[in-house]
């Protein structure tokens, strides 16, 4: 609840029991929370149990928080019962606006207004979702990446009626709860990660449609090429390191002209002095001014570990 410290939250309710809702339940259980899942229908129980058991095998290998246990899990198909003791609610029902609006209307009435309700939506806006909710200030988008118990990203943004306090508190709560929240500056369709992922996906579809590459070639190109780097560093830091001692500045000055080349069907923005500066300053700030040698070592050490994982998998 908004008047608690994020560190003091113990009881979480997950609404929805699909791969995302169930994945959130697994994550929170592994962090030691008491978790209640609301199921739309009793028949979903079996698949959810299987998901939790599978996830638990992975989570044990990574390391469970103290006190974490599957015994702290309960479920119900009664929405009032599911939410009555909740200190935080993560909603992951299907991406249908009318369904979400109706759910938030109900939750707005039955749930203590100090309890944050976070939506896992990947495509709807919170302004729309909260439209019929009588207590919209405590609602916020918190979009995870699948599976939520293995990938830490949570993209966050409020709707028009969301209070800034809710966004701030929820960001802190996710950090305490072992996630990596990212509060967006603007609401853009697809948010940030999905937009980047979708750019690759569309370029891949174009290549297959034009007979330029097969499905398998596209995947081999990623997995044996840029893929392992992206597990360790984002596209900006990779080019910052790729620029050598001169960093991002060197990279932009040397490869800037490539933006005019038809290397993907996506037309590049003009590399204005402002954009050049934003990219360079952003990289220096992000890497806390670390030099080429140490960034390059971080990348190579990570790639060595990933190469070892891949070699082991190959022999399985």
Per CB under 8 A, which of residues 30..69 are in contact with a second copy?
A: 54, 58, 61-63
The nearer residue to a second copy, 112 or 203, going by C-beta atoms, is: 203
CB of 186 to a second copy, least distance (A): 5
Site string for a second copy, 201-230 (x = CB under 8 A): xxxxxxxxx-xxxxxxxxxxxxxxxxxxxx
The nearer residue to a second copy, 67 or 226, going by C-beta atoms, is: 226
Residue burial 155-191, b: 16+ Cβ < 10 Å; e: rest = bbbbbebbeeebbebbbebbeebebebbbeeeeeeeb
Angle between helices 19-30 and 45-62 (to 10 degrees): 40
CB of 178 to a second copy, least distance (A): 10
CB of 38 to a second copy, least distance (A): 21
Cα 190–Cα 166–Cα 197 angle in degrees, nearest 5: 15
Site string for a second copy, 103-142 (x = CB under 8 A): --------------------x-------------------
Among the listed residues 157, 107, 156, 167, the one whose alpha carbon sits nearest the alpha carbon of residue 132: 107
Among 192, 249, 250, 253, binds a second copy (CB under 8 A): 192
98 contributes a contact to a second copy by CB under 8 A: no
Among 69, 74, 134, 146, binds a second copy (CB under 8 A): 146
Residue 67, CA distances (Å) to 29, 72, 98, 271 in order: 9, 9, 39, 52
CB of 79 to a second copy, least distance (A): 26
CB of 113 to a second copy, least distance (A): 30
304 contributes a contact to a second copy by CB under 8 A: yes
Cβ atoms of residues 236 and 282 within 8 Å: yes
Among 3, 43, 272, 273, binds a second copy (CB under 8 A): 272
Site string for a second copy, 152-191 (x = CB under 8 A): xx-x------------------------x-x-xxx-xxxx
For the chain, how big is the Rg over CA atoms in Å?
22
Burial of 21: CB neighbours in 10 Å, binned 0-12, 13-18, 19+: buried
Cβ atoms of residues 22 and 51 within 8 Å: yes
CB of 112 to a second copy, least distance (A): 31
d(CA 210, CA 315): 35
Cβ atoms of residues 312 and 276 within 8 Å: no
Among the listed residues 4, 6, 1, 58, the one whose alpha carbon sits nearest the alpha carbon of residue 177: 6
Structure tokens given for 124: 């709807």
The nearer residue to a second copy, 134 or 220, going by C-beta atoms, is: 220
The nearer residue to a second copy, 67 or 257, going by C-beta atoms, is: 257
What letter does residue 89 receive in the DSSP assignment? E
Site string for a second copy, 276-295 (x = CB under 8 A): --xx-xxx-xx---------
The nearer residue to a second copy, 80 or 223, going by C-beta atoms, is: 223
CB of 300 to a second copy, least distance (A): 5
CB of 33 to a second copy, least distance (A): 19
The nearer residue to a second copy, 138 or 229, going by C-beta atoms, is: 229
């Amino acid at each position: 609840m908004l008047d608690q410290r994020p560190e003091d939250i113990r009881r979480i309710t997950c609404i929805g029991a699909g791969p995302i809702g169930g994945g959130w339940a697994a994550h929170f259980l592994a962090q030691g929370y008491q978790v209640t899942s609301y199921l739309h229908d009793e028949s979903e129980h079996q698949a959810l149990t299987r998901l939790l058991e599978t996830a638990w095998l992975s989570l044990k290998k990574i390391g469970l928080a103290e006190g974490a246990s599957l015994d702290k899990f309960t479920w119900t198909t009664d929405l009032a019962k599911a939410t009555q003791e909740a200190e935080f609610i993560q909603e992951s029902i299907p991406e249908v606006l009318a369904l979400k609006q109706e759910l938030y209307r109900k939750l707005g009435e039955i749930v203590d207004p100090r309890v944050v309700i976070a939506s896992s939506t990947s495509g709807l806006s919170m302004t729309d979702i909260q439209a019929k909710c009588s207590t919209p200030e405590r609602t916020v988008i918190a979009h995870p990446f699948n599976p939520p118990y293995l990938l830490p990203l949570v993209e966050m943004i409020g709707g028009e009626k969301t209070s800034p306090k809710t966004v701030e508190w929820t960001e802190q709560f996710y950090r305490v709860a072992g996630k990596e929240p990212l509060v967006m500056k603007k609401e853009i369709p697809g948010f940030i990660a999905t937009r980047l992922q979708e750019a690759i996906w569309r370029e891949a579809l174009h290549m297959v449609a034009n007979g330029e590459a097969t499905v398998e070639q596209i995947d081999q190109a990623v997995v044996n090429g840029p893929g392992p780097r992206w597990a360790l560093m984002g596209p900006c830091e990779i080019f910052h390191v790729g620029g050598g001692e001169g960093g991002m500045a060197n990279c932009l000055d040397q490869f800037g002209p490539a933006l005019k080349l038809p290397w993907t069907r996506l037309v590049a923005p003009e590399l204005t002095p402002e954009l050049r500066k934003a990219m360079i300053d952003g990289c220096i700030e992000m890497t806390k001014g670390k030099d080429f040698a140490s960034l390059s070592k971080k990348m190579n050490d990570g790639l060595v570990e990933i190469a070892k994982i891949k070699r082991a998998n190959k022999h399985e």
